[in-house]
Chain A
Amino acid sequence: MKKYLGVLFFIMVFNYYSQNNNNINNQIIYANEISNSGIKRLSDIFSLINRWDSYTLDGFRYYSNPNNLIKSQDWIVLLNGQKYSLDFLNLKQLNALPITVGQIDSIVIISTPQLYEGEYADGGIMAIYTKIPTTEFSANLRYATGNEIGDPGPWAYTQSEHVNVEELGPDHSASFSYKSENFYSILNLISQTHSATDRQITQRQKGVKWKNLGICLLTPSLTIYFNGLGGKHNLFVGYSTCEDQFFLPPAGSDLIFFEPVGREFPVMTSSFHLGLNGNINVSDKSQIKYKAKYSKNKIYETDDLMTTDFDWNNTKLFANLEYLKSYDFINFNIGGSFEQNSLNSKYLKKKENINICKLYCSVNTNLLKDFFINIDFMSTIIDKHLAIKSTFSSVYTIVRNISLHYSLSYFEKLLSEENNIWNWTIQGYDYLKSNSFFYLIYNLSYKQNQILTDVDLNIHLLENLKVNIGFNLGWFSNFYYESYLYKFNDSSFTFNSPARIFGGVGGNSGATKIEIIHKPFSNLEHKIFFQYRLFCKGDNSFIRELKTLPEYKLIYRINYEPVENFSLWTMITYTAATYWLNFKNVTFESNGIYKHRMENIFLWDIAAQKYFWERKIRVSLSLLNLLNQKYTLHPLGAYHDLSLHFQVELLLNSIL
């Protein structure tokens, strides 16, 4: 302990800071790219993230892994600097974030460990920044829908089996904003529906009411921003629910895929977020940043007989304070945060609290010519256990157009930092035993350790041509692995397996990547990204886990805007096969209906966008999977076919 405090003191005294440093590994997705790509939901953004490997079962709720070295669902979502809790058991629901894709100004995707906005990105960060209203009063109405092919159509009257009535929407949103010189406010009302009616899913949902296979989310929010009291302040209130609303058609529920039983349950979910953040300028070169939030995420049962009652009421209280100071060549910040993560449930004897204290500091300097150094350090304390997280990064400008970026991170992660079912089961959440789900936990360590290094060479070959080549290596120890050996039940199309959690898993892996961005004309940009996992060694469990991520991935995108109000966009993606050894038996037992090997995927997406009426109306059309490759991203997941997406948006930027 003294040792760590010593390191902290050393860094505080001698060093410096930079917030949001321009790390080459941070991918920034701008509004223009989001709009041109025809994306209509927040969860579609995963398709634009280069380094994150994402997969889904129902096409609405996504798992995502922030780098190709280890599987982790601990990515953090920051909305205008506020940490937004989207956790529902082991899954995050990005679509529960109460903003639309049209409101996004930019997204910073952080895949390598570093300190960012008071959070340490050991599991990746998606930092979303929204647009500021430009006119006094404005209103924005949006309608989006989509259709995946494969409906029976006329064949419903010629064949006995009728499946696939998937609709990707409709989604509606209305947002109203008011802006004055030092103030703005935005009111959002968003509804999203999604049919999880792919045969792969429906055939294990026998007895579930049809309406409950339609996922429906209503997500209102209110933003109030003001500039005053010596700084900037941002209040955000967000809510999501799948309850019926009087002004909307009858809703379905939400579907939670629960790995210990290998199937989805229709459940009701809701989330509430109240957050306040901002900064106060102490002087020209110093600033205090603050954050506070209260959030509550709930999972409760529907009226469906096929549901289960998770009775999950997860509350978080969070406060953060940070001081930033900059000098000519040196910047530093120091901060601390406190989070109380609570679970209330009938499966607990009493309400359980996990108190998480964090102290951190970050320094950067440009003291040496052409050499930029940054050091991040964080200590996390939970219930007398300490974990440290640290990153050293540097940028060396070799010649004017070539720079070398290097980062080395060592970090520890406490089990209690993860907000998943296994952590809470250890804390006493007795859902699994109460519902006769068998599980065993072996040799679980309270702390995981990880060393990651990233090396990137950034070359500006020409004014309009950038090349980035790099590799990353990771060493992992004391991880845990969820092991299943699913048995297929051919009468109910369900899967049973005891859950075995193995602790003490370790290994190492390495990956390389190359990205080329070329802008031959002012209105045309194309990018290519390739990532390849060089090696993966270690315990069997570690290797099994990594095999569920594609060994390599190639993404090529073209964005063409021939005129101001019209754009064309295309993306080609090629990803390697993945192997899900937990489902190995299922391949044989289901006669190949479900497979443990997901084949290589070659996808071609196109989108066109046109503005009308002096940019007051935006229409977007996109065709995803144009070559109609039938693919799935998870052994039990829905098959994705060619799909059409349509959006129309009324942008009344000055309604008075």
Chain B
Amino acid sequence: MYKNIFSYILIYFFCLNLNFAQEKFPFENIKIGAGYLYNFNKNEFHKYWHSVEGLSGYLQTPFYLGYIRLGLNYSYCVSIDKPAQPDFNYLVAFLDWGEEFELPLNFKISPYGKFGMAQMDFISPEMFVHEGFLIERELLLGFGVELSHKLFDEWYIFSKIDYQKVYFYPSFELTYFQIGISHKFESPNWLMEFMK
């Protein structure tokens, strides 16, 4: 059975158009997307907080190499043991850099690397630690892979696995499953001029 699955995968990938998705000019279009994110990994962080669900929004445009995507993720992290640990708003501003490859049946696969800043905004901490710890920011690095499918016109549905390592000390990892929709449109001329 595994052999068959493997064969199907191989045949599928042989059908790949290994050229880039299409001939692109930098910043010629913008893809705007929004999605739902679900954190499914478990580690030391999750002994203290639930960070299950959230929302994501992004803007994506072709770049000189591949594409870049600028976005925000938001989730609300609920403390398991109040009041020792407070709830916090968790905001991630990120920049992804990746490449899209066309697959058959109007699918595209897109691996990417990511970096960004994670911000934790602690809400009314009972255990007041230090004023400087009410808002904490730290670097995150990660990578992911997105699978998208063109529904009609320039509307897409996408899902992705997104891995992030947040470099607080000690660092911890959050892995998300995301699903959402996106829409692509031509960039206005003034924006293209600005970006170039």
B74 contacts the other chain (Cβ, under 8 Å)?
A: no
> B48 contacts the other chain (Cβ, under 8 Å)?
yes
Residue in contact with B137 in the complex, picked from A147, A154, A641, CB distance below 8 Å: A147
| Interchain CB contact (< 8 A) of A150 among B45, B127, B169 | B169
Give the residue of B88, B132, B138 whose beta carbon is less than 8 angstroms from that of A149: B138
Closest residue of chain B to A165, judged by CB? B132
| Chain A residue at minimum C-beta to C-beta distance from B85 | A157
Could you tell me if A157 and B139 are in contact, using CB atoms closer than 8 angstroms? no
Q: How far is the CB of A408 from chain B (nearest CB, A)?
A: 50
Interface mask (A625-656 → B, CB under 8 Å = 1, otherwise 0): 00010000000000001111000000000000
- A155 contacts B194, CB within 8 Å? no
- Given A147-B139, A164-B169, A154-B195 contact (CB < 8 Å): no
Q: Smallest CB-CB separation from A146: which chain B residue?
A: B139
Are A151's CB and B122's CB within 8 A? no
- Kindly provide the distance from the CB of B91 to the nearest chain A CB, expressed in whole angstroms: 13
B194 adjacent to A563 (CB under 8 Å): no
In the complex, A152 has a CB within 8 A of chain B: yes
Interchain CB contact under 8 A, A152 and B136: yes
Residues of A within 8 A of B136 (CB): 151-154, 156
Q: Is the CB of A612 within 8 A of B48?
A: no
- Indicate if the CB atoms of A153 and B127 lie closer than 8 Å: no
Count, chain B residues at interface, CB 8 A: 37
User: Which chain B residues lie closer than 8 Å to A155 at the CB level?
Assistant: 168-170
Residue A162 at the chain B interface, CB threshold 8 Å: yes
* Main SS class of interface, B: mixed
Q: Are B138 and A153 in touch, CB under 8 angstroms?
A: yes
Specify which chain A residues have a CB less than 8 angstroms from the CB of B167 in the assembled complex. 149-150, 628, 641-642
- Interface presence of A250 (CB below 8 A): no
In the complex the two chains form, is A150's CB within 8 Å of B168's CB? yes
Is B169 a contact of A149 with CB atoms below 8 Å?
yes
Residues of chain A within 8 A of B12, CB atoms compared? none
Distance in angstroms between the alpha carbons of A44 and B32 in the assembled complex:
38
Interchain CB contact under 8 A, B133 and A156 = yes
Residue in B closest to A163 when the chains form the complex, CB atoms: B169
Could you mark each residue 88-109 of chain B with 1 if its beta carbon is under 8 Å from any beta carbon of chain A, else 0?
1000000100000000000000
Given known contacts A162-B129, A164-B169, A562-B65, A154 and B194 CB-to-CB distance under 8 angstroms: no
Q: Which of A137-195 contact B (CB under 8 A)?
A: 147, 149-158, 162, 164-165
Is there a chain A Cβ closer than 8 Å to B130's Cβ?
yes
B196 and A565 form a contact (CB under 8 A): yes
A147 and B138 in contact, given A154-B85, A562-B65, A565-B196 (Cβ under 8 angstroms)? yes
Structural contact, A612 and B194, CB atoms closer than 8 A: yes
Taking CB atoms, residues of chain A closer than 8 Å to B168 are 149-155
From residue 8 to 51 of chain B, which have CB atoms closer than 8 A to chain A?
Answer: 26, 45, 48-49
What 0/1 readout, one digit per residue, does chain B (122-160) give for beta carbons within 8 Å of chain A? 100101011011001111010000000000000000000
Within 8 Å of chain B (Cβ to Cβ): is A623?
yes
Which residues on the A side are within 8 Å of B76 (C-beta)? Answer: none
Determine if A157 and B84 form an interchain contact, defined as CB atoms under 8 angstroms apart. yes
The reply on A422 being an interface residue by CB < 8 A is no
Residues facing A in B176-196 (CB within 8 A) are: 193-196
CA distance A291 to B17 in the complex (A): 67
Kindly state the separation between the CA atoms of A157 and B86 in the bound complex, as whole angstroms. Answer: 8
The verdict on A521 contacting chain B, using a C-beta distance below 8 Å, is no
Q: Contacts A156-B133, A158-B48 given: A151-B169 contact, CB under 8 Å?
A: yes
Chain B residues within 8 Å of A566, by CB: 64
Q: Assess the B133–A162 pair: CB atoms within 8 A.
A: yes
Q: Does B58 count as interface, using CB distance less than 8 angstroms?
A: no
Residue of A nearest to B133 (CB): A156
Residues of B with C-beta under 8 A to A153 = 118, 120, 136, 138, 166, 168-169
Q: Please name all residues of chain A whose beta carbon is closer than 8 Å to the beta carbon of B122 when the two chains form the complex.
A: 157
Question: Does A14 sit at the interface, judged by CB under 8 A?
Answer: no
Interface presence of A10 (CB below 8 A): no
Residue of B nearest to A608 (CB): B97
The interface bits of chain A over 608-633 (1 if a CB of B lies within 8 angstroms of the residue's CB, else 0) are 00001110000001010000100000
Q: Which of A156, A612, A643 contacts B129 (CB 8 A)?
A: A156
A167 to chain B, nearest CB (A): 9
For residue A164, which residues in chain B have a CB less than 8 angstroms away from its CB? 169
CA distance A154 to B65 in the complex (A): 36
In the bound complex, residues from chain A placing their C-beta under 8 Å from that of B45 are 154
The chain B residue sitting closest to A149, CB to CB, is B167
Which residues of A are found within 8 Å of B139, using beta-carbon distances?
147, 149, 642-644
Closest chain-B Cβ to A193's Cβ sits at a distance in Å of 15
Chain A nearest CB from B127 CB (Å) reads 6
> Which residues of A have CB within 8 Å of B49?
154
User: Please, how many angstroms separate the alpha-carbon atoms of A642 and B141 in the complex?
Assistant: 11
Partner of B115, one of A152, A614, A644: A644
Cα(A642)–Cα(B166), bound, Å: 12
Give every chain A residue within 8 A of B118 (Cβ-Cβ).
153
Closest to B119 in A: A153
Docked complex Cα distance between A154 and B171 (Å): 10
**Would you give the shortest CB distance from A623 to chain B, in whole angstroms?**
7
What separation, in Å, do the CA atoms of A628 and B166 have in the docked complex? 13
Residues of B within 8 A of A158 (CB): 48, 84-85
- Complex Cα spacing A623 to B114, Å: 12
Chain A positions within 8 Å of B65 at CB level: 562
Bound CA span A533–B93, Å: 46
- The residue in B86, B118, B167, B196 that gathers the most chain A C-beta atoms within 10 A of its C-beta is B167
Determine whether the beta carbon of B125 is less than 8 Å from that of A157: yes
Residues of A near B26 (CB, < 8 A) are 563
Chain A, range 546-581, C-beta contacts under 8 Å to B: 562-563, 565-566
The answer for the CA separation of A566 and B168 in the assembled complex, in Å, is: 31
Residues in A24-68 with C-beta less than 8 Å from chain B: none
Nearest-neighbour CB distance to chain A for B89, whole angstroms, equals: 12
Query: Does B88 lie within 8 Å of A154, measured CB to CB?
Result: yes
- Which chain A residues border B125 with CB–CB below 8 Å? 157
Q: A153-B136, A157-B127 are in contact. Are A612 and B195 (CB under 8 A)?
A: yes
Cα A154 to Cα B85 with chains together (Å): 8
Give min CB distance, B154 to chain A, whole Å: 25
B64 contacts A563, CB within 8 Å?
yes
In the assembled complex, the Cα of A150 lies from the Cα of B45 at a distance in Å of: 15
Residues of the A chain whose Cβ atoms lie less than 8 Å from the Cβ of B64: 562-563, 566
When distances are taken between beta carbons in the complex, the residues of chain A under 8 Å from B129 are 156-157, 162
- Once A149-B139, A155-B168 are accepted as A-B contacts, the answer to whether A613 and B194 lie under 8 Å apart by CB is yes
- Once A566-B64, A612-B194, A644-B139 are accepted as A-B contacts, the answer to whether A156 and B130 lie under 8 Å apart by CB is yes
A–B Cβ pairs within 8 angstroms, 5 of them: A152-B169, A153-B120, A154-B45, A642-B139, A644-B115
The 9 closest A-B pairs by CB, nearest first: A153-B168, A149-B167, A150-B169, A156-B133, A153-B136, A157-B85, A644-B139, A156-B129, A613-B194
In the complex, given contacts A156-B136, A157-B122, what are 14 additional A-B residue pairs having Cβ atoms less than 8 angstroms apart?
A147-B139, A149-B171, A152-B136, A153-B120, A153-B168, A154-B45, A154-B49, A154-B120, A155-B170, A157-B129, A612-B195, A641-B167, A642-B167, A644-B115
